[in-house]
Every structure is written in structure tokens, then in C-alpha cells.
Amino acid sequence: MRILIVEDEKKMASFLERGLKEEHYAVDIAYDGEKGWKYAMANDYDVLILDWMLPKMSGVELCHKFRKEGKITPVLILTAKDSVEDKIKGLDQGADDYLTKPFSFEELLARIRALLRRPPHVTNKTVLQCANLKLDLIKRQSWAGEQEILLSQKEFALLEFLMRHAGEVVSRTAIAEHVWDLHFDPMSNTIDVYINFLRKKIGETPSQSKIETIRGTGYRLTCP
């Protein structure tokens, strides 16, 4: 899952970036509203985290413009403001949630998970299951049958994306957009390499879930 953070306080931005990357999310950062707007329109994020007070365009304005373009990506607004009127203003401009600074990182994570449970991320579970595969999104543990499998952060993120789209063909572009960040080189074979790592770890027998290669298109996780 890929997150855009628009935050002008560099310390705060890098704290969030580091923390979210540790939690397997792919993260892009913009330090002002205009850059944030450009990123939000150019890439397909799963959640936007917008600081309210930003140079060039506020987080609330950005959110308002974003919604006017018909974008439904969940938006979380961060702010030092905590009056009820401010909250209402933010929510009226299309924000889905609101977090007042200072906040605990655990609370931010819980709110991001809640936002990811909303459509279009249909599943409202914190444990994803596909045949013999099981992924606990909170404990960050994964199993193939009874056997726990140890996955790197990227492998976990990739498997989560495939499991959220189980049975569907997902393109390499979609995988790159949701599992990697702006620094990803689309010409590299990184995705194929990670798919092979995952295949080895989850194992493949006819009765179990497996990752199929769909020639010229991408991959599909099947759950027999």
C-alpha cells in the first residue's frame, strides 16, 4: 500500500516516512501543497496524509481540489488545530479522518488501517486469507498452512497487495504503484525478483494458492 505524506515540517515528515516504511508501506513525501497536489494527481496512492498548514496550498484546499477531480482515495488531515469547527471544516472539504498533533504513531497506524478498510479496499478484515495463505496485518505475521513464513517488508507488502486482489490479474504497473515509491525504476526486474522470492517462501502445490505469471500482463494470485 502506497501513501503520500504532504508535510512541511521536515522532522515530522521524515519521522512519518521512517515509521511508515518500517510498517511496510511505500511512502512519498512532498513538502508543500503544490508539490503534494502534483504527486496526488500523478500517482495512484492508497491513502493521502495531509498536514493542514502548508506553504502554497493548505492540506484542506488540496483535499477539496482533489475531491473536485472525483478522486476517492482516503484522506487523513493532520493538524495542530483541534476545535470542533476546524474538524468540521476539514471533513466538509472531503477529508475522511482527522488527527490532532501531537498524536501517537500507533494511533496513526490504526487510522490508516481503518481507512484502508473502506471501499475501494473492500476487505474489512485485519487478517487476509487465501486458501492456505494467511496474513495478519496487525501482527505482521504470515503463514502458509500451519507454517509461519518470514517475509521482508517488501515481500509482505507485495503479498498483501496480491491477496487484496486475489483472483484478479494485477499488472506490473499496478504493483509498482502500490508497493513501491517514486524512486522505483520501472525498467528494472525488481518485481519479478520479489515475485520469485515470494513463490519460494509460500511454496506451490496444486491444492494451494499460487502466483501465476500472466504473460505480457502481470500476475495473479489464485486461491483454489
Site residues for Ca ion per CB under 5 A: 8, 51, 53
What is the H or E stretch that residue 47 is in? strand 47-51
* Smallest gap from residue 55 Cβ to Ca ion (A): 8
Using the minimum distance from each CB to Ca ion, give the nearer residue, 53 or 182: 53
Using the minimum distance from each CB to Ca ion, give the nearer residue, 86 or 136: 86
182 with 4: CB under 8 angstroms?
no
* Smallest gap from residue 8 Cβ to Ca ion (A): 5
Using the minimum distance from each CB to Ca ion, give the nearer residue, 81 or 117: 81
Q: Which residues contact 128 (CB under 8 A, 6 or more apart)?
A: 134, 135, 137, 160, 163, 164
**Selection from 64, 60, 61, 28 nearest residue 46 by Cα:** 28
Using the minimum distance from each CB to Ca ion, give the nearer residue, 53 or 211: 53
Using the minimum distance from each CB to Ca ion, give the nearer residue, 8 or 136: 8
Q: Distance between CA 145 and CA 118 in Å, rounded?
A: 28
* Smallest gap from residue 106 Cβ to Ca ion (A): 22
Determine the residue with CB nearest Ca ion: 53
User: Mutual orientation of helices 105-116 and 10-22 as an angle, nearest 10°?
Assistant: 60
49 with 7: CB under 8 angstroms?
yes
* Smallest gap from residue 96 Cβ to Ca ion (A): 19
* Smallest gap from residue 51 Cβ to Ca ion (A): 4
